[in-house]
């Protein structure tokens, strides 16, 4: 079959795409999530061609794409209140809503189910094509079944040239993972597939929202998938992918030592790797990971990688979607190379880290108080004192003893002085913390916690596989600092303001414990401990 190449930069090409679709043809189109292979959703014959072109099992239902919320009503039995609120909040955008279907939707489109999945994409080209076609468009991801979803036009060309009527070039996709699929066809709304719209966003609109167990876990033998797509081996590159659940340092060490595969890593890891690597985004930026994951998987195929070691993404926010795709690419193989977890515990001052640290200690974790390490003689050894004297002047000593007050006054006088102090002390703190971590491991602890106010600034986060952030409202933190440190309101405020923003901490977190007044931290902590108990290597928590 001859495949026409179209571009959304050529006037007239959107109309041509619309005509082909109206006639019952197939056109691959860009959306903000991934490219879709579109056909008239109300034409059974056209829809059947999608399954043929993709090699897709015909019981796997398709998403129906509309360009405006007003086009939803004819497709479903009833537009529920929840659907209206979701559409108002997230459409157009990467959210697919499942509702009981109307008679208008042919069974070829929805795999014979009594529900239909509908989404209103935000990509202007996708919307223009729907309008040009004048019908709703069924569109699965525009890849061959079992291949990673296409996020660039090149991916689409590779998979579908010669198999469909036309391919419409619209550049790279910005979200990079497919839409969040949420069913409203049961009592409690449930995420069947995580995507660009996060669990927290959905909860903010709907209240209670569940996550289907198949999102994170392999379905047991004979279990029926709520979303038929989840039962198929998806997103699989040719390489054997293993996810390493480890800190950045341990990841790099393990991969270098193995030396037999590719690193599917974060950008920050690249300089430390002695094996070839493909990066998928940056460590604390789930959105960049989502945007680059499928392209990275495609690259592994292109270079003919046989084995790849993947960095574990966070499961928070859009990270849940990244993890969901990656764990399928890895056929659920997750390995913890050191058999334990190092959790970084941090957050803004006064949020209550120490309280949480105490609870975790009682729960059987090995907690290292990094503040204490910072003041320890192991850090302030003679060579360190010598360097400090050269940097800040001999006046920081009183009768040969370090005057910490004077050192603090000088070191916190400017940004430059503060960073100089860090340069001298941080490497020593890191060394001492590593010694303590080794001690904890030798004692047989499986969960080690680094309680560190400057976890990120000191670089200690590179020793952590996960980050737990304790946060509290600013007024509450101020009150606590006032009470704890007995300083003036003004000084306390200055201290809070000298710190990074709340967002700096929470955007890097795997878990956030909100520790406000009257809030039961135990619930969030319980969730943290339960999550952790499920991870490989945590058997002795």
List residues near ligand TXA by CB under 6 A: 31, 33-34, 36, 60-63, 94, 96, 98, 110, 113, 115-117, 119, 121, 139-141, 178-179, 181, 192-193, 227-229
Closest CA to 446 of 351, 335, 532, 356: 532
Q: Which does 192 bind (CB under 5 to 8 A by kind): Mg ion, ligand TXA, none?
A: ligand TXA
CB-nearer residue toward Mg ion: 110 or 277: 110
Q: How many CA atoms lie within 13 A of 44 on its CB side?
A: 8
Q: Which does 468 bind (CB under 5 to 8 A by kind): ligand TXA, Mg ion, none?
A: none
CB-nearer residue toward Mg ion: 193 or 508: 193
Q: Which does 33 bind (CB under 5 to 8 A by kind): Mg ion, ligand TXA, none?
A: ligand TXA
User: Are the C-beta atoms of residues 244 and 335 closer than 8 Å to each other?
Assistant: yes
Beta bridge partners of 407: none
Instruction: Report the nearest approach of ligand TXA to the CB of residue 123 (Å).
Output: 9
Instruction: Report the nearest approach of ligand TXA to the CB of residue 229 (Å).
Output: 2
- The two beta strands, 447-451 and 366-369, are parallel
Query: CA dist 430 to 246, 299, 434, 452, 508, Å?
Result: 17, 36, 6, 11, 20
Query: CA dist 368 to 247, 357, 360, 444, 538, Å?
Result: 16, 9, 11, 15, 18
19 burial via Cβ count (<10 Å: 0-12, 13-18, 19+):
middle
Which residues bind to Mg ion, rule: CB under 5 A?
A: 141
Cis bond leading into 92, ω under 30°?
A: yes
Residue 535 neighbours by CB distance under 10 Å: 18
| Residue that the structure tokens 């340069």 belong to | 423
CB-nearer residue toward ligand TXA: 100 or 459: 100
162 burial via Cβ count (<10 Å: 0-12, 13-18, 19+):
exposed
Q: Which does 179 bind (CB under 5 to 8 A by kind): ligand TXA, Mg ion, none?
A: ligand TXA
| Residue that the structure tokens 């909100």 belong to | 514
CB-nearer residue toward Mg ion: 63 or 246: 63
Residue closest to ligand TXA when measured from CB atoms: 229
Instruction: Report the nearest approach of ligand TXA to the CB of residue 35 (Å).
Output: 7
Instruction: Report the nearest approach of ligand TXA to the CB of residue 162 (Å).
Output: 20
Instruction: Report the nearest approach of ligand TXA to the CB of residue 141 (Å).
Output: 4
Instruction: Report the nearest approach of Mg ion to the CB of residue 234 (Å).
Output: 7
What are 495-500's contacts with CB under 8 Å, separation 24+? 495/349, 496/348, 496/349, 496/350, 499/348, 499/349, 500/348, 500/456
CB-nearer residue toward ligand TXA: 98 or 396: 98
CB-nearer residue toward ligand TXA: 64 or 263: 64
Q: Which does 31 bind (CB under 5 to 8 A by kind): ligand TXA, Mg ion, none?
A: ligand TXA
Q: Which does 60 bind (CB under 5 to 8 A by kind): ligand TXA, Mg ion, none?
A: ligand TXA
CB-nearer residue toward ligand TXA: 192 or 436: 192
């Amino acid at each position: 079959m001859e495949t026409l190449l179209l571009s959304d930069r050529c006037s007239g090409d959107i109309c041509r795409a619309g005509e082909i679709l109206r006639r019952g043809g197939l056109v691959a189109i860009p959306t903000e999530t991934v490219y879709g292979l579109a056909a008239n959703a109300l034409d059974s014959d056209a829809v059947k061609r999608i399954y043929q072109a993709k090699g897709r099992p015909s019981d796997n239902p398709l998403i129906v794409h509309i360009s405006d919320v007003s086009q939803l009503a004819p497709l479903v039995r009833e537009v529920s209140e929840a659907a209206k609120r979701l559409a108002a909040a997230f459409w157009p955008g990467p959210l697919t809503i499942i509702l009981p279907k109307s008679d208008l939707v042919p069974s070829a489109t929805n795999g014979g189910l009594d529900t239909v999945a509908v989404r209103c994409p935000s990509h202007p080209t996708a919307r223009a094509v729907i309008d040009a076609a004048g019908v709703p468009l069924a569109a699965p991801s525009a890849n061959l079944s079992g291949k990673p979803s296409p996020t660039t036009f090149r991916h689409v060309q590779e998979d579908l040239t010669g198999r469909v009527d036309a391919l419409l070039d619209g550049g790279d996709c910005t979200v990079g993972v497919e839409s969040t699929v949420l069913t409203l066809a049961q009592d409690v709304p449930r995420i069947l597939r995580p995507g660009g719209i996060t669990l927290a966003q959905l909860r903010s609109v709907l209240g209670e929202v569940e996550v289907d167990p198949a999102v994170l876990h392999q379905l047991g033998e004979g279990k029926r998938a709520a979303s038929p797509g989840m039962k198929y081996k998806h997103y699989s590159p040719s390489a054997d992918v293993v996810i390493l659940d480890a800190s950045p340092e341990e990841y790099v060490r393990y991969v270098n030592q193995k030396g037999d595969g590719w690193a599917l890593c974060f950008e920050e890891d690249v300089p430390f790797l002695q094996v070839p690597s493909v990066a998928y985004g940056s460590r604390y930026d789930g959105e960049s990971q989502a945007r680059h994951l499928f392209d990275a998987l495609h690259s592994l195929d292109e270079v003919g990688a046989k084995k790849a070691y993947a960095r574990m993404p966070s499961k928070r926010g859009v990270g849940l979607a990244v993890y969901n795709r990656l764990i399928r690419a890895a056929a659920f193989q997750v390995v913890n190379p050191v058999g334990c977890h190092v959790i970084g515990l941090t957050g803004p001052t006064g949020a209550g880290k120490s309280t949480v640290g105490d609870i975790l200690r009682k729960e059987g974790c090995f907690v290292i108080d990094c503040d204490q390490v910072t003041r320890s003689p192991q850090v302030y050894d003679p060579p360190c004192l010598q360097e400090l004297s050269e940097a800040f002047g001999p006046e920081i000593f009183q009768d040969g003893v370090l005057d910490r007050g004077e050192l603090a006054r000088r070191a916190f006088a400017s940004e430059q002085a503060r960073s100089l102090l860090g340069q001298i002390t941080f490497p020593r703190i890191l060394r001492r913390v590593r010694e303590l971590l080794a001690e904890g491991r030798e004692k047989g602890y499986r969960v080690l916690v680094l309680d560190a106010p400057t976890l990120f600034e000191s670089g200690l986060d590179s020793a952590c596989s996960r980050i737990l952030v304790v946060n509290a409202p600013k007024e509450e933190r101020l009150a606590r600092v006032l009470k704890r440190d007995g300083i003036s309101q003004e000084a306390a405020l200055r201290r809070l303001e000298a710190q990074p923003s709340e967002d700096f901490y929470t955007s890097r977190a795997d878990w956030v414990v909100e520790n406000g007044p009257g809030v039961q931290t135990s619930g969030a902590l319980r969730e943290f401990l339960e999550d952790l108990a499920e991870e490989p290597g945590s058997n002795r928590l």
